[in-house]
Amino acid sequence: MNVGIDLIHFSTSDYYLGLDAFAEEKNIDVDKFYIGIGQEKMSIAPPDEDVVSLAAKAAAPILEQIDKNSITAILFATESGVDQSKSAGVFLHGLLNLSSRCRVIEFKHACYSGAAALQMATTMVRANPKEKVLVIAADIAKYDVDTSGEATQGCGAVAMLVTESPRIIAIEPGSGYHTEDVMDFWRPNQRKTALVDGKYSTKVYLHSLKQAWQHFTEETGRTFDDIQHFCYHIPFTKMAEKAHQTLAKVAKVKLSPQEFKAQTLPSQVYNRIVGNSYSASLFVGFCSLLDNLNENMANRRVSFFSYGSGCVAEFFTGLMQPGYEKVLMSASHRKQIEQRQPLTYAEYLAFYHEVDDEVENIEFERHNKGPYRLAGIKDHKRYYQTL
């Protein structure tokens, strides 16, 4: 039985900060960002956008195409959840008016949780083909101002419908994984922003890739040449380039510059202008590959490398399904990205500091253009609005 992603759609916020404006403000050569880390823009969430509104925006176009009462579970992956107890997925369940015959749970492990939720969903469907699982990976990446991570912020959500006989990609059984208790990126409960040992985190990422790859080859017997397209977790696109160089080296494969570009660039187009979206970032990369590769990928193998600091990593693969191109929502992805409004550095800072969801009561000014927004907090309870 084939199990995998039947439909996929991603969302991002209505605003961005260009790294040209950022570089000017900080008096840094812009090529450090354009070339050095490979980023151009960061999607910025206004105060009335959170992972729930981003997730609703990602999921709604999928639900329009199916009987939404057939969803049997929501697996919501996030590092930037909205409540210490209640799952962000239950807020989403309410906002989208889904059936009560549905289970909802939140997944957490930094940027790895999206892959964990997808793998859990495939396991559920293999056990019971009647399951239709809505997997959400949604995050707002936020670091302290004037730290090395500030230029790598961003936000986004990816919704994936996981079913049997999927129309887009069948996830293959067998994967390689690696876990190690390290402190490269973390966020203590009292903090809104992540702490990071930046350079160390890039080293642990690459070490984890080697370990997960080794395990993957032992488990599946597959080689580098069995894979046609490579998707990586993309905190910034240069990291994915370094990952692919590392993988090719470990697999003892020599790639021409053209082959290297062909294998990596299409999956980086969106991340370069959206920024990091933690748990969603790997799947934003997959959407980017689907929307920007001008070749038919039917029957080709795509690999996914997920890395969550702290750290847990996994390498797995899927097979593209014939006819997948007919169900892509590329136009919606492009429209959202193109319609974003640029912010000055001062406007970005105002959004950055205005988020005050610790207060008991607040009504947020309307910045989010919809279709879903966080309207306010009343008696410590979040409430949302459909526009």
| Contact window for ligand CAA (CB under 6 A) among 31-39, 261-269, 313-321, 348-356 | 31-39
User: Does 201 engage in binding with ligand CAA (CB under 6 A)?
Assistant: yes
| Dihedral angle of Cα 335, 106, 316, 66, to the nearest 10 degrees | -50
- 35 or 298, CB closer to ligand CAA? 35
User: Does 112 engage in binding with ligand CAA (CB under 6 A)?
Assistant: no
164: β partners: 3
- Cα distances (Å, whole numbers) of residue 65 to 10, 159, 178, 187, 190: 15, 13, 37, 37, 40
- 2 or 148, CB closer to ligand CAA? 148
Give phi and psi for 21, each to the nearest 5.
-65, -40
User: Does 199 engage in binding with ligand CAA (CB under 6 A)?
Assistant: yes
- Is 111 among the residues known to form the active site? yes
| Contact window for ligand CAA (CB under 6 A) among 29-37, 100-108, 314-322, 378-386 | 29-37
Binding ligand CAA (rule: CB under 6 A), the pick from 32, 187, 300, 301 is: 32
- Is 9 among the residues known to form the active site? no
User: Does 263 engage in binding with ligand CAA (CB under 6 A)?
Assistant: no
State the nearest-atom distance from the C-beta of 233 to ligand CAA, in Å.
6
Binding ligand CAA (rule: CB under 6 A), the pick from 202, 214, 332, 385 is: 202
User: Does 244 engage in binding with ligand CAA (CB under 6 A)?
Assistant: no
Subset of residues 319 to 378 that bind ligand CAA, contact rule: CB under 6 A: none
State the catalytic residue, choosing from 9, 106, 111, 155.
111
- 39 or 368, CB closer to ligand CAA? 39
Contact footprint for ligand CAA (CB under 6 A): 29, 31-32, 35-37, 111, 148-149, 151-152, 185, 196, 198-199, 201-202, 205, 233, 235-236, 239, 276, 278, 307, 309
